[in-house]
Amino acid sequence: MRIGFYICHCGTNIAGTIDAAAVRDFAAELPGVAVSRDYKYMCSDPGQEMIVQDIRDNKLDRLVVAACSPSLHEETFRKAAAKGGMNSFFFQMVNIREHNAWVHEDKAAATQKAKDQVRAAITRVRFHKALEKKSVPVNANVLVVGGGIAGIHAALTLANAGKTVTLVERDSTIGGHMALFDKTFPTLDCAACILTPKMSAVKNHPNITLWTYSEVSKVEGYVGNYKVTVKRKTRYIKEDLCVGCLDCIEACVFKEPKFRDDFNQGLSKRKPVYMSFPQATPKLVTIDPETCIQLKTGKCRKSCAEACDRKAIDFELKDEMKELEVGAIILATGFSAFDPKRHAYYGYGRYPNVYSALEVERLVNASGPTNGEVVLRDGKHPKAIGIIHCVGSRDEHTNKWCSRVCCMYSLKLAHLLKEHTGAEIYDFYIDMRTPGKTYEEFYDRLLQEGVHFIRGRVAEVNDWAMTPEEEGKLVIRVEDTLAGFVRRIPVDMVVLSQGLEARKDAGDVRRLFNIGCGTEGFFQERHPKLAPVSTFADGIFIAGACQGPKDIPDTVAQAGAAAAEALALVDAGHVELEPNTSHVVEEECCGCKSCVPLCPYSAISFDEAKKKASINEVLCKGCGVCAAACPSGSIRQNLFEDEELFGEIEGVLS
């Protein structure tokens, strides 16, 4: 055996902590090592070329590189091995950067650890076998989950590239949070004017199938070959007949709207049969089974159904399960706004004139519940308004992170509220965070518009008047950290700039798609810098606020990136899979069947005639559970064979 060993300095990232020359000399003495070198950057072209040359000149048949995490450069060195003419699986990588140099300070101990790690790899690599990557065909269709601006943009990009896309949205309409807004920062362009054309484009695109009021309920398969089950909830409307004339809503036995209108954040009421907003896409009404008398009791005049001259209403309709085969999936399920009730000191839910920012988005909206007139819950028009930043952000007690968009949308709301009411606006911020193209300029503009900015985290909102001016007002108590004293500001209306958080069901969605979440609950990207829209599940990408708080420009950019990644995958037509599957060595199998029920993918079958187990390598995903369980040791997992792992154990300990 002729092993080539290389240790990378990674500039000073590794060599600053680990004595690379000492490790190089140590490795040179290990049995079978023919070449042992150190180099500044092994991943650079000259570094790789050195490996290629050595393989050729020194007839190397095994390769070990001690450098960074295999998740970064395993592929790089496998390719170098192949270029030199060696099977790329005769290679083993040693992670001495993330797992060593970056986490230890004691240089002697770190160097000793590096030696142990290297000896493990050199012991293990002897047992490596020549393997080939499996190439499997990729289904060219793509599934997009979530129809906010992220999902809409991703779906359109893919469809425009000629791909067949299915967009699954849980709500009765696409649009997401953006559909709630009147204006968007920093340009103050009308949200509907830029969003609704894209919504219609989705609906009308020949390559897009739009399934609203639907949810993914099962995901099977693997990269390039996912089988997805979608539950299409019924709206009790025959979708092909309804033209969205709204006659049924007019005719409903409830003469007045009586139930909470979710789209308007509860600021208005709706009937059991409703359409969220005039531009809802698809333009279909929905009947809410929770409030519809017919659906709850079966005893209603059904005046809505009578009123529909196209006979589109059918109370007998049932939910449907649909199956779908796709090669890639983009998750764009967005965020939830922080529930300000959780911040008890700000009086939300206690004082009627304390509003959440989303409510105010609807209040200032020309097509909102008040047609854009800012009237308070008590019918008054506010003369003084306080906007409180960071509600449920940058806070030890709720969410620690900065929600990134609240400073900017608070400025937007300050502008809009001033424009709509002429009131004095007080804006309470901890730090004003306006990074972004033309964002700081927007802040400047607001300063000039005469908004009062007060720096400090608000302590409390209450209605205890201490002076006649405070009578009948809400009092905001805050330490003004610029002026250096505590202030009491009486106002008529308080706006709470709620932070962005992961959806309550993000955990379930993540499990369904087998991806990860960070500790804050947002979906985890594969690498924070280099793979921001990929996940640990190959073929599943993420875009928009489901990955973390972000504004619309960033969301759209990320959605484009996710679409491009999905496109690159499905356009290639095939994908290479890691050959780390398991197989049964038939002669050794004792026929005990221990392995059969263990496989989560039912890849193991048992031949009753031969009394032997066998593994379907197409179904096997390479977890190795069966290999660990087989009492006769007859199951081998490629790349993780017993000898290889025992070799590593011996290597780290000798």
Partner 1 sequence: MSEKRRFEPKIVAFFCNWCTYTAADLAGVSRIKYAPNARVIRVMCSGRVDPQFILDAFAKGADGVLLGGCHPGDCHYAEGNYKTLRRMRLLERMLKGMGIEDGRFRLEWISGAEGDKVKVVINDMVEKVRALGPLDLPGRAKGWDKELEALAHGVRKSEDKKEPTHA
Q: In the complex, which residues of this chain contact partner 1 (CB under 8 A)?
A: 69-71, 95, 97-100, 102-106, 109-110, 112-113, 116-117, 120, 511, 514, 516-519, 524, 528, 536-537, 580, 598, 600-601, 621-625, 627-629, 637, 640, 642, 645-646, 648-650, 652-654
273 binds ligand FAD (CB under 6 A): no
From residue 440, give the alpha-carbon distance in Å to each of 105, 416, 444: 41, 18, 6
Residues 109-128 that bind ligand FAD (CB under 6 A): none
Residues 408-467 that bind ligand FAD (CB under 6 A): 409, 412
Integer Cα distance of 222 and 282 in angstroms: 31
Choose from ligand FAD, ligand SF4, partner 1, none: what does 552 bind? Cβ within 5-8 Å by kind. Answer: ligand FAD
134 binds ligand SF4 (CB under 6 A): no
595 binds ligand SF4 (CB under 6 A): yes
CA neighbours closer than 13 Å in the CB half-sphere of residue 496: 29
Structure tokens at 331: 């998750």
Which residue, 331 or 575, has its beta carbon nearer to ligand SF4?
Answer: 575
Choose from partner 1, ligand FAD, ligand SF4, none: what does 176 bind? Cβ within 5-8 Å by kind. Answer: ligand FAD
Which residue, 345 or 536, has its beta carbon nearer to partner 1?
Answer: 536
Which residue, 494 or 589, has its beta carbon nearer to ligand SF4?
Answer: 589
Please say whether the beta carbons of 562 and 542 come within 8 A. yes
CB of 616 to partner 1, least distance (A): 15
- The alpha helices in 42-142, defined as continuous H runs, are 45-58, 70-84, 107-125
Please say whether the beta carbons of 327 and 140 come within 8 A. yes
178 binds ligand FAD (CB under 6 A): yes
How far out from the chain centre does Cα 80 lie?
34
Place of tokens 């490790």: 23
Choose from partner 1, ligand FAD, ligand SF4, none: what does 120 bind? Cβ within 5-8 Å by kind. Answer: partner 1
Choose from partner 1, ligand SF4, ligand FAD, none: what does 635 bind? Cβ within 5-8 Å by kind. Answer: ligand SF4
Structure tokens at 502: 């992961």
From residue 588, give the alpha-carbon distance in Å to each of 201, 514, 617, 631: 60, 34, 18, 10
405 binds ligand SF4 (CB under 6 A): no
Sketch the per residue contact string, 368 through 407, with ligand FAD: x for CB under 6 A, - otherwise. Answer: -------------------------------------x--
Apex CA 70: angle with CA 69 and CA 76, to 5°?
115
Enumerate residues 6+ apart whose C-beta is below 8 A from 31: none
Residues 207-266 that bind ligand FAD (CB under 6 A): 215
Structure tokens at 158: 């893919």
Please say whether the beta carbons of 563 and 570 come within 8 A. no
From residue 512, give the alpha-carbon distance in Å to each of 220, 231, 331, 539, 541: 9, 14, 11, 14, 14
Stretch that binds ligand SF4, among 288-296, 337-345, 440-448, 580-588 (CB under 6 A): 580-588
Structure tokens at 395: 């806070």
Is the bond preceding 282 in cis, omega lying within 30 degrees of 0? yes
Which residue, 115 or 412, has its beta carbon nearer to ligand FAD?
Answer: 412
Best CA proximity match to 491, nearest among 503, 506, 474:
474
Stretch that binds ligand SF4, among 235-243, 501-509, 566-574, 627-635 (CB under 6 A): 627-635
577 binds ligand SF4 (CB under 6 A): no
Which residue, 300 or 592, has its beta carbon nearer to partner 1?
Answer: 592
Helix (H, G, I), strand (E, B) or coil at 57: helix
Binding site for ligand SF4 (CB under 6 A): 581-582, 584, 589-595, 598-599, 601, 603-604, 613, 615, 620-626, 630, 632, 634-635, 637
